[in-house]
Amino acid sequence: MNRRVLFVDDNQKVLNSIARQFEGVLDYETANGPHEAIDLLDSENPFAVVVSDMRMPKMNGAELLTHVRTVAPDTVRIMLSGYADLQATIKAVNEGNIARFLSKPCPRELLERAIREGLEQYQLVTGQRELLEGTLQGSVTVLCAILSLVHPLAFGRVSKVQRIALAIGNQMQLENIWDLKIASMLFPLGCVSLSERALECMLEGIPVPDEERSAYEQHPSVARAMLQEIPRLENVAAIVSYQEKGFDGSGSPFDDVRGTDIPIGARILKAALNFEIALKQMSDVPAAFEKMQQQAERYDPEVLEALGRQLDVGLCQRSRRTVALADLRPGMVLAADVRLEGGKLVVASGQQVNESILRNLETFCEFGQIDGRFEIEAVPGSEHAECEAVC
């Protein structure tokens, strides 16, 4: 549980006094001035509370706490202000950059109480978000597991596409990686009404039949309509809606949005989707990436560069091995389609095995409808296939 506090003042004597008062009472650090404080800020390991003096040289406390809000929006920001700085402090509070301000000199008891209330507020805000995100992610995982059984061709791509998208997002140090994670699970939601023929055309890189083209072009909008009414998924809905949109403005939806006006998650998702299709068609990582580079105008240059960097360090370097049903485990990724004797698709290549899929395969094997051996993707040089890094 994060209960870290940062005190900022340009007067070392004040910081020494704080150290004497709160030693052994709070988990704290001190910064002599705003620039030293900025060096301590870390969005990955934020402070729960930052307490800053107002009047400091070069950058005042209000400006510092505005910066803190940008780096770590959940951090509770407290200002210590003298009467002469009152108007500037009130302005900062009204702009939402400060949660509370205390007049100087401030009694120790009042300052400690304000800090402890700030710590409780931080735990409440972050705890609620983590609970909500965890609940939503669990629900989305269950939904995708069900849909992968009902529509394996559409949802069989999810595991591969998500690994590619998250690798790009991490390479770019994307802030809202959770939105991208959920969007890369739900992008095929609008495809559930499409025929297998239309989906096969898309995956093979050939034109979708005219009679289904309109429905195909609308599938991102259909998915958005399903998602946008769900609380906390507004950004996910926007990403899914623009998954087919080119950086040059080509593709659906057919509007004037282009370039950096397209949500960054959608720009990443489009690259991941198109690379996954290219790799499926060409079975060669360099050739698939070269194909994308030949159509570079369709992709955000930074996204394409991030994908290239991830490919250079081994993303999508595939090897295969065959396992018996008894050795198949949740988390393994199938390297070949699983079909019934009549040719009906049961699980698509690239699908990550979960408990539901495993039970289905056990049932089909029991009745002799499928072979009991499966090709899975494995890390080169490893005996274990349950690796998230390979696609």
Take residue 302 and report the two structure tokens written for it: 């930074």
Q: Residue 285 and residue 33: Cα distance in Å, rounded?
A: 50
Domain with CATH 3.40.50.2300 in the chain: 5-126
Is the distance from CB of 259 to CB of 281 less than 8 angstroms? no
Angle at 249 between CA 247 and CA 254, to 5 degrees: 135
From residue 168, give the alpha-carbon distance in Å to each of 13, 208, 237, 275: 47, 28, 20, 12
Furthest C-alpha separation in the chain: 84
Q: Quick one: which of 141, 180, 390 has its CA closest to 285?
A: 390
- Residue located via tokens 């009152």: 86
CATH number of 5-126: 3.40.50.2300
Best CATH choice for the domain 318-390 from the list 2.40.37.10, 3.30.930.10, 3.90.105.10, 3.40.50.620: 3.90.105.10
Query: Among 51-65, 142-156, 302-316, which stretch is predicted with the lowest mean pLDDT?
Result: 142-156
Is 294's pLDDT higher than 90?
yes
Cis omega (within 30 of 0) on the bond before 253? yes
Domain with CATH 3.90.105.10 in the chain: 318-390
| Chain segment 177-211, per-residue pLDDT in tens | 999 999 999 999 988 878 888 888 877 778 888 88
Report which secondary-structure segment, H or E, holds 80: strand 76-81
Q: Quick one: which of 47, 4, 44, 54 has its CA closest to 27?
A: 4
Q: Residue 351 and residue 334: Cα distance in Å, rounded?
A: 6
Q: Residue 266 and residue 236: Cα distance in Å, rounded?
A: 9
CATH 1.10.3210.10 at 151-316, yes or no:
yes
| Identity of the residue numbered 82 | G
Q: Quick one: which of 183, 190, 193 has its CA closest to 140?
A: 183
Domain with CATH 1.10.3210.10 in the chain: 151-316
Q: Is 386 helix (H, G, I), strand (E, B) or coil?
A: coil
- Per the model's pLDDT, the better-predicted residue between 89 and 391 turns out to be 89
State residue 373's pLDDT score. Answer: 93
Contacts by residues 126-133 (CB-CB < 8 Å, ≥ 24 positions apart): 126/2, 126/74, 129/74, 132/232, 133/178, 133/232
Banded model confidence at residue 97, pLDDT cuts 50, 70, 90: low
| Chain segment 325-346, per-residue pLDDT in tens | 999 999 888 888 899 988 888 8
